[in-house]
Amino acid sequence: MSQTNSTDVVAFVGATGGAGTTRTVVEVATALAADGRSVAILDAAFATQGLAQYVSGAIDPDVTALLVDDGRALSVGLRPLDLDEAVAGDVAACPAYAPFERLARAKSVEAAQRLESLIASAAGQFDHVLLDVPPIAANQSVAAVNAADHVAVVAPATARGTEAVQQTHERLADIGTEADLVVSTRGELETADISIPKTDATAVASAPACLDRDSAFAGGVARVAAAVTGREIEASGESEGLLGSVGGLIGR
């Protein structure tokens, strides 16, 4: 994988549609912000445009406009996530929110190259950059993975999730890389390195739910954050960081 100005560019790749990748990215970003870090989320899931639901106000320009229109800087497309005042850090997102015509143009090879440039720009401005990536099937997915330092595959804890993880491993191998981590959502998956339990707080309006530090869900999110960044992220009232419980998962 290519190296950017930051060592913490992480591509969260959905193994299949509906895996909960966007929600996982938002929760992990919030966990890092609660640890006092600055985090950027860049959206490569153009078709679903799920990240746009987590920001308020007008989204203009969105990430696709930055990729295909006038070449403006990333900063004009970043929108803050509304977090609790007690959160010491911050999260800024650059979501996709565009008509179909522009979505199609944003999937070109040239746009994918521009996406890599935006990721590098974010890496120079934030402590961590998280990428919301759909299944590997388009130029922007490949570009996001190539620009990342680490790749985390996200899959639901279902039989379909198990099959999709294997397919994602094969697709990553096809483009010359591999996953550093497999995360299962909504329960335990045998092939996952870390599992995030189910939560009743599934609505967009209930996010982020990881700030409830006594919940098993928050503990799972904290473990993912620790694994992909190498930082100790505390949750569930633990006095010691969670890094020891996930040691060795990154850089295998």
Count: domains in the chain: 1
Contacts of 29 (CB under 8 A, 6+ apart): 39, 41, 81, 91, 128, 130
Q: What is the pLDDT of residues 205-236, one digit of tens each?
A: 999 999 987 899 999 999 999 999 887 666 53
Residue 168: inside a domain: yes
36 burial via Cβ count (<10 Å: 0-12, 13-18, 19+)? exposed
Q: Could you give the CA distance from residue 16 to residue 147 in angstroms, rounded to a whole number? A: 21
pLDDT score, position 69: 81
Which helix (DSSP H) or strand (DSSP E) does residue 181 occupy? strand 181-185
pLDDT score, position 178: 97
Backbone angles phi, psi at 125, to 5 degrees: -115, -20
Q: What's the domain range around 45?
A: 9-246
Q: Could you give the CA distance from residue 116 to residue 110 in angstroms, rounded to a whole number? A: 10
Q: Could you give the CA distance from residue 228 to residue 168 in angstroms, rounded to a whole number? A: 18
Residue 178: inside a domain: yes
Can you count the helices (H) and strands (E) in the chain? 7, 8
Task: Give the confidence band of 243 by pLDDT, cuts at 50, 70, 90.
Answer: very low
Task: Give the confidence band of 8 by pLDDT, cuts at 50, 70, 90.
Answer: confident
Residue 251: inside a domain: no
pLDDT score, position 126: 96
Q: What is the pLDDT of residues 105-131, one digit of tens each?
A: 999 999 999 999 999 999 999 999 999
| Residue 200 neighbours by CB distance under 10 Å | 9
Q: What is the pLDDT of residues 165-208, one digit of tens each?
A: 999 999 999 999 999 999 999 999 999 999 999 999 999 999 99
CATH number at residue 62: 3.40.50.300
Give the percent of the chain with pLDDT over 90: 83
Q: pTM score, two decimals?
A: 0.91
pLDDT score, position 214: 84
pLDDT score, position 235: 58
User: Parallel, antiparallel, or unpaired for β 181-185 and 150-156?
Assistant: parallel
pLDDT score, position 234: 62
Share the mean pLDDT of the chain.
Answer: 89
